[in-house]
């Protein structure tokens, strides 16, 4: 792909990438939902990890050797900046709204994301080109790991800069993996509420340490993922399908909270919860099961995947952008 072709991409193409970034950002705000899943079902996943893994210590050498334009093109900066702009816009604009829905209409919003991930499992699984017992084991292993992560008890901490750095490096790996949620890992690490508050209040210091860890983690892990997809595509897709299936337990709309954690200010936050049937939820909590709202949320979630399919970049276009650039 020539420089003129890359820099003359239709404006509609970048509008599409920006909208995908908006959806990825909104998904990452919610613990249990993966922005990587959105990237995968919209067809930009391969291009994303290919672009990220090209950021190496040799970038500055290439900059002086090949010039700004060629290096900019090889790193696919226009794509990354457009996607990042969409994600940041979404986080800044919609974080409060999504948390309002989680606090006031939890069954609807969890049903929506449950439907979104169910449809996503099908979209990812159908890309597996062969079926065998070995791939079945990968699916089961991924599901077991996703289920294990979903059942780790979250904590609340006052973290050090080093802790923020390490947690950021680990959480960003989940962001780029379909089926694993970076927000949920932050919840497990006891950082989720603090990070949301830091974003709302523009508290730069904790976000800086977290961001530095994320930068190191994503560049390193993207290189691993890129090799896995190029050399073990079916096995990797099977493992990711399992991750997403395992994460559905966390997204189940009806959970009964059996234990709470008392924060220093005296407020309670859920600590241990277990999935129950809608009828059991009503009996145990005395609240309405919200089946109608759950059905609506499920339909909206499935519909979101259909809309994302219209936004999706074709596999041929994604490969062209990922492999021919530079």
Does the structure show a pLDDT above 90 at 160? no
CA 42 – CA 123 distance, rounded (Å): 10
Q: What percent of the chain has pLDDT over 90?
A: 6
Provide the mean pLDDT of the chain: 78
Average pLDDT over residues 8-15: 69
| Counts of helices then strands in the chain (DSSP H, E) | 17, 2
pLDDT digits 0-9 by tens, 66-114: 777 887 888 888 999 999 999 888 887 776 777 777 778 889 988 887 8
pLDDT top residue among 166 and 315: 166
Q: What is the DSSP letter of 256?
A: E
Average pLDDT over residues 286-296: 89
pLDDT of residue 316: 45
Does the structure show a pLDDT above 80 at 11? no
pLDDT of residue 140: 92
Confidence of residue 268 (pLDDT cuts 50, 70, 90): low
Instruction: Please work out, in degrees rounded to the nearest 5, the angle formed at the alpha carbon of residue 243 by the alpha carbons of 242 and 249.
Output: 100
CA 120 – CA 207 distance, rounded (Å): 30
* H-only helix segments in 177-290: 182-188, 192-201, 204-231, 233-251, 278-285
pLDDT digits 0-9 by tens, 238-263: 988 888 888 788 788 898 877 666 66
Q: Of 36, 171, 26, 21, nearest to 85 (Cα)?
A: 21
CA 284 – CA 256 distance, rounded (Å): 7
Q: How far lies 289's CA from each of 108, 127, 249, 270, 280, in Å?
A: 11, 36, 17, 19, 9
**Tokens encoding 297:** 């949320």
User: Where are the chain's structural domains?
Assistant: 3-254+289-324
pLDDT of residue 154: 61
């Amino acid at each position: 792909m020539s420089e003129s072709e890359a820099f003359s991409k239709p404006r509609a193409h970048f509008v599409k990438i920006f909208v995908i970034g908006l959806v990825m950002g909104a998904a990452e705000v919610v613990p249990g939902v993966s922005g990587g899943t959105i990237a995968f079902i919209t067809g930009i996943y391969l291009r994303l990890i290919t672009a990220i893994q090209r950021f190496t210590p040799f970038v500055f050498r290439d900059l002086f050797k090949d010039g700004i334009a060629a290096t900019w093109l090889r790193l696919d900066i226009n794509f990354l900046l457009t996607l990042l702009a969409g994600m940041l816009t979404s986080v800044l604009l919609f974080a409060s709204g999504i948390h309002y829905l989680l606090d006031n209409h939890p069954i609807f919003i969890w049903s929506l994301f449950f439907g979104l991930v169910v449809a996503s499992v099908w979209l990812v699984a159908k890309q597996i080109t062969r079926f065998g017992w070995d791939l079945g084991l990968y699916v089961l292993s991924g599901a077991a790991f996703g289920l294990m992560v979903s059942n780790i008890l979250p904590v609340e901490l006052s973290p050090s800069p080093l802790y923020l750095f390490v947690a950021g490096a680990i959480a960003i790996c989940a962001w780029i993996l379909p089926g694993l949620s970076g927000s949920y890992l932050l919840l497990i690490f006891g950082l989720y509420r603090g990070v949301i508050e830091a974003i709302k209040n523009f508290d730069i210091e904790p976000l800086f340490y977290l961001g530095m860890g994320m930068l190191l983690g994503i560049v390193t892990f993207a290189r691993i993922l890129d090799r896995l997809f190029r050399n073990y595509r079916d096995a990797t897709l099977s493992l990711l399908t399992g991750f997403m299936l395992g994460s559905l337990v966390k997204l189940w709309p009806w959970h009964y909270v059996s234990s709470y954690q008392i924060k220093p200010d005296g407020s309670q936050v859920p600590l241990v919860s277990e999935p129950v049937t809608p009828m059991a939820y009503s009996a145990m909590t005395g609240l309405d099961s919200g089946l109608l709202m759950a059905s609506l949320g499920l339909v909206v979630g499935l519909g979101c995947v259909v809309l994302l399919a219209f936004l999706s970049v074709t596999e041929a276009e994604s490969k062209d952008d990922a492999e021919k650039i530079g």
